[in-house]
Amino acid sequence: MKVLIAGGAGYIGSTIASACLDADIAPILLDNLGGSSFDESLNRTLYEGDIANSDLVDKIFRDHPDIEVAILCAALINVPESVLQPLAYYETNLSKSLLFLESVQRNGCRRLIFSSSTAVFQSDTNAGITETSPLRPESPYTRSKLFFEWILEDVARASRLQALSLRFANPVGADPKMRTGLQSSRPSHALGKLFMAMETGTPFEITGSDFPTRDGTGIRDYVHVWDIAEAHVAALRNLMSDPNKVGGFEAINLGSGRGTTVLELIAAFNQTLGTNVTFILSPRRLGDTTGIFVNLEKAREVLKWEPKLSLEEGIRDSLRWSEVWREKSGNSGKAES
Ligand SMILES: NC(=O)c1ccc[n+]([C@@H]2O[C@H](COP(=O)([O-])OP(=O)(O)OC[C@H]3O[C@@H](n4cnc5c(N)ncnc54)[C@H](O)[C@@H]3O)[C@@H](O)[C@H]2O)c1
């Protein structure tokens, strides 16, 4: 089977490509390399360009008429930046994504997997978030994810499009074989800041300790990026399982199914890496949310998928990858993004 991965040079897309290759699925990548670089040594097929370039998408389908599914990972993804530049975010995550969807459909491909986010939900730490939990996207970035889901739902209702939106939580780690990972030695979320605290010997700053959680600090669902990639392989098989099925939209939550508070993350970090990172408590920042964790029932039932890797493995793989990445980016002479 062949799949087109738009955004296939990025963190999630490149890891999905690794998982596809391991599952004997051939990934064809489309990326404008605006937010990533491409590792030529991996020998993957990349078309460099924009998802909105319909001539390029037509060429990809001419070259690979056997592409069965498109996976749309290409997006702008930085929440604070989206607050400052909403138009840029809506342009890429909606207008350009729409043009990509049109091109995919025009070329006769009627199956699409969309990378969405659990940040479309309202914070709730009392129970795992299900697909029907209240929605409350709080930034242009998260709103763009939800708007595009609604567009997919409408298009699927009006056409033969089979669309699956995978809403994932906070990915950590890298491909366990260290082929691909985050193209930065420092992820922007709490785990990245823990690495920074470890390297500089400074305390980790916990912003907000008065959230309605078991210890007052924010809660997140950290999921290993390899589990997310394998969920995409499961989703590909699900979409291909009934060749006669036409039309339909489903949204499915992906995560570890476990909430981890910031204090628990620090403890897991220190225990896993044998470090002693300390912390200080600071007030909440504007826009900080209590957080959520995910209920996996639908993912288990529909995708027959289960996360296999632990938070500790995610922390270890993040550290291993940051060393690999430093070497790769140093060797290629590319500045870190
Ligand atoms: N990383 C996370 O924490 C997270 C969590 C939930 C959902 N997601 C979703 O997963 C998807 C992938 O995220 P990621 O973390 O891999 O981000 P990333 O920035 O690493 O990858 C995105 C890729 O898309 C490419 N791209 C952006 N605009 C493009 C365009 N117009 N044309 C062609 N290529 C373009 C970039 O060059 C980059 O390689 C996004 O849709 C994001 O919303 C990410």
Instruction: Give pLDDT, residue 188.
Output: 67
pLDDT score for 334? 37
Ligand 1 centre from 201 Cα, in Å?
31
Contact of 262 with 206, CB cutoff 8 Å: yes
Out of 47, 89, 90, 141, which one is annotated catalytic? 141
Predicted local distance difference test score (pLDDT) of residue 80: 86
The whole-number pLDDT of residue 87 equals 98
Rounded Cα gap, residues 328 and 236, in angstroms: 31
Q: Which domains does the chain have, with CATH numbers?
A: 2-174+222-257+290-309 (3.40.50.720)
Tell me the pLDDT tens digit for each residue of 10-63: 999 999 999 999 999 999 999 999 988 899 899 999 999 999 999 999 999 999
For 211-309, where are the E strands, in sequence order?
219-220, 222-224, 248-254, 260-261, 279-282, 292-294
Please tell me if the CB atom of residue 114 comes closer than 6 angstroms to any atom of ligand 1.
no
Q: pLDDT tens-digit profile of 122-139?
A: 987 778 999 999 999 989
The whole-number pLDDT of residue 187 equals 61
**Substitution candidate for ligand 1 out of 5, 14, 30, 31 with most atoms within 8 A of CB:** 31
5-9 average pLDDT score: 97
% residues pLDDT > 90 (the chain):
83
Residue 247 has pLDDT above 90, yes or no: no
| CA of 35, closest atom in ligand 1 | 37
Q: Ligand 1: distance of its center to the CA of 74 in Å?
A: 4
Mean pLDDT, all residues of the chain: 93
